[in-house]
């Protein structure tokens, strides 16, 4: 169990508990990598290694002892350990590799922990429009269902209008009287990938040809109905 600050101390200094928990769980360095790619952990050590053990939580990943390497499932065949630097590289990452990793060695006196986040690349984007009486609403959407750390997604916009600057929302609102020729661009990014899509604001409105086609079709329907009624 983590240490608990005395009750009186907590009441007088509410931040004490945060400091205590941070000293336990905040010493793990976050590392981000993409699915099917590789990642390398770089431990800090100023002494030559005699032996090394890398662990994922309590499970062994690979060890180096008596100048011999031994990898453990499910990492067998897709890990590399550099005995000089202590660097661990994992290849062909899967979402199940996501966890906390730690190196253990007599040559290291401090804790070296890494929190690995394995993230799916962002799929294609699409921009869609919705027209209201006064606004044009442009929405930036990921085409496929995407649930790989959505909290890491960041939205940004680029267009001639000032409202695109420093906007991190997934949608933009434009006045219907805005310049319809302007290009609206949306970028969605995370720690491992980036996607961009764009649209011309004029395409949010029905074209004149479409309007004429609707009118012509309605005229024909009306004529047929009148003819049938007269007969």
Please list the pLDDT of the chain residue by residue as tens digits (231 residues). Answer: 444 444 443 444 344 333 333 333 458 999 999 999 999 999 987 788 999 999 999 999 999 999 999 999 999 999 999 999 999 999 999 999 999 999 999 988 888 999 999 999 999 999 999 999 999 999 999 998 999 999 999 999 999 988 899 899 999 999 999 999 999 999 999 999 999 999 999 999 987 444 333 333 334 443 434 344 445
Strand ranges for the chain from DSSP E = 28-34, 39-41, 52-56, 59-65, 68-71, 79-81, 88-90, 99-104, 113-119, 125-131, 135-142, 154-158, 171-175, 183-189, 194-200
pLDDT for residue 108: 86
Length of the chain: 231
pLDDT for residue 26: 57
User: Among residues 114, 109, 106, which one has the least CA distance to residue 52?
Assistant: 106
Asked whether the beta carbons of 135 and 177 are under 8 A apart, the reply is no
CA atoms of 105 and 107, how far apart (whole Å): 5
* Cis previous bond, 71, omega within 30: no
- The domains located in the chain, with CATH, are 29-119 (2.60.40.10), 125-204 (2.60.40.10)
User: Among residues 178, 167, 165, which one has the least CA distance to residue 131?
Assistant: 178
CA atoms of 26 and 11, how far apart (whole Å): 23
Encoded tokens for 72: 């453990």
pLDDT for residue 131: 94
Helix extents (H) in 13-166:
15-25
């Amino acid at each position: 169990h983590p240490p608990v600050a005395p009750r009186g101390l907590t009441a007088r200094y509410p931040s004490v508990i945060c400091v205590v928990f941070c000293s336990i769980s905040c010493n793990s360095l976050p590392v981000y990598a993409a699915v099917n790619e590789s990642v390398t952990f770089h431990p800090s050590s100023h002494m030559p290694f005699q032996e090394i053990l890398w662990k994922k939580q309590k499970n062994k990943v690979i060890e180096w002892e008596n100048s011999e390497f031994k990898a453990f499932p499910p990492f067998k065949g897709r890990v590399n350990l550099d005995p000089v630097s202590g660097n661990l590289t994992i290849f062909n990452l899967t979402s199940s590799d996501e966890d906390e990793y730690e190196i253990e060695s007599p040559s290291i006196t401090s804790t070296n922990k890494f929190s690995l986040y394995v993230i799916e690349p962002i799929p294609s984007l699409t921009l869609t429009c919705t027209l209201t009486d006064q606004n044009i609403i442009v929405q930036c959407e990921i085409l496929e269902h995407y649930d790989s750390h959505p909290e890491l997604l960041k939205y940004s916009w680029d267009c001639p209008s000032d409202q695109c600057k420093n906007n991190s929302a997934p949608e933009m609102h434009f006045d219907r009287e805005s310049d319809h020729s302007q290009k609206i661009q949306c970028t969605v990014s995370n720690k491992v990938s980036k996607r961009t899509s764009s649209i011309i604001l004029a395409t949010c409105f029905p074209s004149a040809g479409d309007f004429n086609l609707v009118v012509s079709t309605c005229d024909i329907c009306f004529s047929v109905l009148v003819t049938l009624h007269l007969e």
